[in-house]
Structure 1
């Protein structure tokens, strides 16, 4: 075996040992809180991918969508056909409505459904899509969100998406991923593509 192959084998053995050690130490079993934030595209897509994975493994899942409108949504179409309950704010983007009072009321109605989901021990995975905006705009209080998350069933996992996640959510989360914007087709005048972007 060449020196190059020997060095590669030694590196891989060392890496495998480090991974095996981490796996051996990871003994806690509990529902996870995952936050997917940042200015890049793909936060909701990642959240929906997690729900699709859960459905594929037979988990009972539910979704709340803030910000989004009632327009066609490929993920919603697919997942509702596979038994996932959706609660959609339905007002669309806040820059379209420009009505704080009605947006706050709509957010409150969906958040009440979220509180029920976060108390339901039959739900194994809950996606709170674009929730971070509701906290930033003060449509839903951070304190209510933190309380509901802290009091959820122990084996229930929750995924929260949206830009500018509050630092308390980040501190509470088990896993936080930040999606960074490097380049976006829309900035070059390219229209969003059905089935790819939405």
Structure 2
């Protein structure tokens, strides 16, 4: 399935909401161009929230351009077969965790945000996914970040984007529901 068709199918699987419906309108209007950064000032990006297996910690990067702590993510590239694959690739590149895998292909977050100075784009239509990694896994800082660090879910740093705490909690709950009950926990 092509990336656009795959994303539209994933969006349609979500419960109706203002965000979901806005994404569908944007993609139906923009078509394939909505997935490519060179096709216009607004486009889809893929991101990945990396949780500890117990979902009590989150791995964040300090974004060099944005100057805030945030989940991993970035632009869809021509080699990506889906936005989920782009999110996983970005999380691997930006965290240094080479074998990081998504918990599910299910979307856990939708966040359209305007961009400011330092960005060549004007807005990102971010589609978030989730992965899990052990907090003692070896991590690395990429060129796009100044730092990568684990934080307890209830002790996030001050420098996070507006609304991030609520988005993180929704993404955490959604990710937990996607994997279902865990045996032995």
Instruction: Provide the TM-score with structure 1 as the length reference.
Output: 0.26
Instruction: Provide the TM-score with structure 2 as the length reference.
Output: 0.27
Structure number with the higher strand fraction is 2
Greater CA radius of gyration, 1 or 2?
Answer: 1
Structure number with the higher helix fraction is 1
